[in-house]
Structure 1
Amino acid sequence: MSEFIGNQKAIHIFENLSPYFQGLGDPIRQQIISLLIDRETMNVSQIAEHIPMSRPTVSHHLKILRQAGLIKVQKKGTEMFYSLEFNEVIALMKQLVHFVEVECQY
């Protein structure tokens, strides 16, 4: 019975993490996240300078990252500035790591 509860908890954690994993599943989006780790906030033009893709393509990837809940956007004047929004995903990852540490000890 406790195995079933543990499995259900793992499934629940993975279901909650799924959008984040999907958002991070592309190398271009991983590069964008890496840039934002280094620079904290950037607009699409600044990001496009570092990514070998067109500005519309970069915007598309930013939209996916926003939908996944990995970045947030703030409008300053006419520009949109992007920054990381990792609080929830970090909390979920910690739950997953804790679950694995507790449940998967041999």
Structure 2
Amino acid sequence: MSRQTEHVLQQFKDCIPLLEVLTDENRQAIIMLLAQNKVGLNVNTISGHMDLSRPAVSHHLKVLKQSGFIKSEKKGVENYYVLTVRKPLEQLKSLITAVEDECKWLDVYPKA
């Protein structure tokens, strides 16, 4: 196995947690909701837009925060959540580029 192939396989492994986070439709909805509200939203506001309990939303926010998709900012007594998708998206884009580069010789991956 070439070093490049080993590198791509490692990138796949490194992206598994990010991809797992994105498989949940509720987390996808939270990401999209936060994308529309750049000032940040608190748990109660997010819960009001979803058919989930406050504890369930808090759980999803915790998972998103741990994976780097969001961060929280304390305002008074409440946490407000905002998107910070740059690092995870760059990691996923890097994986896609590496896979494209590794597969260019295959007929299944047409050249642009």
TM-score above 0.5? yes
Shift of 1:24: 1.4
Identify which range, 4-13 or 31-40, moves more after superposition. 4-13
User: Quick one: distance in 1 between partners of 2:83 and 2:20?
Assistant: 16
Q: Deviations over 1:16-74 (max 9, x none)?
A: 21221121121111110110111121111110011101111111111111122211111
The residue that corresponds to 2:102 in the other structure is: 103
Structure 2 partner of 1:27: 25
Question: Relative contact order (C-alpha < 8 Å, sep 6+): which is higher?
Answer: 1
How far is the alpha carbon of 1:97 from its aligned partner?
2.1
Give the equivalent residue in structure 2 for 1:18.
Answer: 16
**Contact 1:42–1:83 (CA<8 Å) still a contact in 2?**
yes
Runs of 4 or more consecutive aligned structure 1 residues displaced over 4 Å after TM superposition: none
SS of alignment partner, residue 81 of structure 1: strand
Identity %: 38
Match of 2:73 in 1: 74
8 A contact 1:13–1:96 mirrored in 2: yes
Instruction: State the TM-score, normalizing by the size of structure 2.
Output: 0.84
Give me the TM-score of the superposition, normalised by structure 1. Answer: 0.89
**Counterpart residue number, 1:85:** 84
Partners of 1:34 and 1:24 in 2: CA distance: 12
The aligned length equals 104
Q: Which has the higher helix share?
A: 1
How well do the aligned residues superpose, as a CA RMSD in angstroms?
1.3
**Whole-angstrom CA distance in 1 between matches of 2:16 and 2:68:** 11
Q: Unpaired segments of 5 or more residues in structure 1?
A: none
Could you tell me which of 31, 34, 37 is aligned with 2:35? 37
